[in-house]
Structure 1
Amino acid sequence: MILYPAIDLKNGQAVRLLRGEMDAATVFNDDPASQARTFVDGGAEWLHLVDLDGAFAGEPRNARAVESILAACPVPTQLGGGIRDRATVERWLSAGLRRVILGTAAVENPNFVREVARAYPGQVAVGLDARGGKIATRGWALETEATVTDLARAYEDAGIAALIYTDISRDGAMQGPNVEATADLARSVSIPVIASGGVSSLDDLARLKATGVIAGAIVGRALYDGAVDLRTALGLLRD
């Protein structure tokens, strides 16, 4: 299981939100590249970035911060938020990102998602962000009628590298991940599933790993608050 330290970007800063609310942001570092180096120095082999402003705007808004992280940290990095056209996908992959994450586009423009997944095999993931099992888009501001499982299954044959499932009600709340729903999703599709939202302890990571079907976990606030020690967590997931 891969651990993905999370860096959420808002106004050029590394922040964490509470349940996706932009007005409930806590700033953890004014220098996202420095934060990324701290994670890499701690042993992280991947980084997970989110352009929060971009998710609402529909286009990149924290490009400078992302580029500074890519320049500072030579580890595979994935990014979501505001990526809704092929030019933006190409721009980010050319800049050095290993993987782009498409969320809103996966609901609103599935043909585009399939097109770029074919063009860039192994470099396109789909973000499944949900409240009560229903997908939310446009920075989690718009709730849809699409269910997590139905949307995931719609991309079974598209060559998607991974599905990133976020239970919005758990995100940033330090109340534990939705292990059961994440494992159920992973068992229902052949695409690797990455858990996101709510990891608050080593026990949470152990429970995700114990399912035997979850490919990775994104951890944010727990690392910043010190509730999870990065090196210990990496060792746990490697064993």
Structure 2
Amino acid sequence: MVASSANRLSRDHLQHGLIVSVQAPEGSAMRHPDVIAAMAEASLRNGAIGVRLESPEHIGAVRERCPDALIVGLWKRSFPDSSVYITPRWEDIRAVWAAGADVIALDATARTRPSGQVLEQLIQRAKTELGAALMADIDSVENGLKAATLGCDWVGTTLFGYTEDTAQLSPPAIDLLRPLRQQLPASTLLVCEGGIASAVTAADAIHGGADAVVVGTAITGVDLQVAAYCRHLKRQTE
């Protein structure tokens, strides 16, 4: 029986769960809908509560293969007039939703968006026109609290260490979790994402206040993991 979106998004299903980010960089042999869908299915079969996917094509492929999966969807798009790239525009939000995402992840930092689009307006349209659940990818406590006030259902530390204001910092954002959990509404799901490289760190994030964790590179990042091993071995033998 296919689980409803409401069941997939229930607090009981999400609490203390692992969401696997199943993505592959441009040019990777892994960046194929069938490969992404297979990795997503393997993750779900082994206990992941959901998957985080990039691009409507990959979202659609996983939804077809795993119809009852919890899918957090996004679309990475680059534009010359903005450094925001995670589902930056209304068109991208609509495409991610239409592809079958349960939750739409979008950049909710204070940075200027492409084409002058405004975060507040995008959140309002997504909630009223689509009825979509939203995950705010943020880089600070301030931006996390603002995103929740604007209507985002989830707050994730995804962009800590990846924005201009936090470039000097390294994820995971364990130190953001406690103040966020203390100040966010109880109904807002707090997600730790970024830099979680082991099960021990994932558990630390939960103990630190996160409701769930997202792990990507450490599980599905074949390209980055293999390259890192090779670089380390080369340094040891030089």
User: What TM-score, normalized to structure 1?
Assistant: 0.63
How many angstroms apart in 1 are the aligned matches of 2:35 and 2:23?
A: 12
1:40 paired residue number:
44
Question: Whose strand fraction is larger, Structure 1's or Structure 2's?
Answer: 1
Whether 2:233 is the aligned partner of 1:223: answer no
Identify the residue that residue 189 of structure 1 maps to in structure 2. 184
SS of residue paired to 2:157: strand
Q: Is structure 2 residue 81 aligned with structure 1 residue 85?
A: no
Write the distance in 1 (CA, Å) between the matches of 2:127 and 2:109.
12
Distance in 2 between residues matched to 1:118 and 1:225, nearest whole Å: 35
Give the counterpart letter for 1:79 in structure 2: G
Q: CA deviation digits over 1:161-195, x for unaligned, max 9?
A: 101112337xxxxx973322222223232232210
Q: Which has the higher helix share?
A: 2
Kept in 2, the 8 Å contact 1:105–1:113? The answer is: no
From 63, 84, 91, give the equivalent of 1:70.
63
**Number of residue pairs the alignment of both structures matches:** 180
1:84-108 CA distances to partner (integer Å, 9 max, x unpaired)? 3334323322321101111068743
Q: Which position in structure 1 is the counterpart of 2:53?
A: 49
> Is contact 1:164-1:193 (8 Å) kept?
yes
Q: Does 1:112 align with 2:122?
A: yes
Whole-angstrom CA distance in 2 between matches of 1:78 and 1:14: 23
The worse-fitting range, judged by mean Cα deviation, of 195-204 and 102-111 is: 102-111
Q: Could you tell me which amino acid in structure 1 is paired with residue 127 of structure 2? A: A
Partner SS, residue 168 of structure 1: coil
Q: Deviations over 1:83-137 (max 9, x none)?
A: 2333432332232110111106874312222331343445112111x4xxxxxxx
- Report if the CA contact (8 A) 2:21-2:220 is conserved: no
* CA RMSD across the alignment: 3.1
Tell me, which stretches of 5 or more residues in structure 1 are unaligned?
16-26, 51-61, 131-147, 170-174, 227-239
Q: Deviations 1:27-54 (Å, cap 9, x if unpaired)?
A: 899821121121122122210123xxxx
Q: TM-score, normalised by structure 2?
A: 0.63
How far apart, in 2, do the equivalents of 1:72 and 1:30 lie?
Answer: 9
Which structure has the larger Rg?
2
In structure 2, do the counterparts of structure 1 residues 68 and 162 end up closer, same or farther at CA, with 3 Å as the change threshold? same
Identify the match of residue 4 of structure 1 among 19, 22, 43.
19
- For the residues of structure 2 that align with 1:71 and 1:28, how far apart are their CA atoms? 14
Partners of 1:222 and 1:215 lie apart in 2 by 20
1:203 aligns with 2:238: no
Report Cα offsets for 1:202-228 as digits up to 9, x if no partner.
Answer: 2212222223x31110012222489xx
CA contact (8 A) 2:56 2:96 kept: no
Distance of aligned partners of 1:161 and 1:113 in 2 relative to their CA distance in 1, 3 Å threshold: same
Q: 2:155 aligns with which of 163, 166, 176?
A: 163
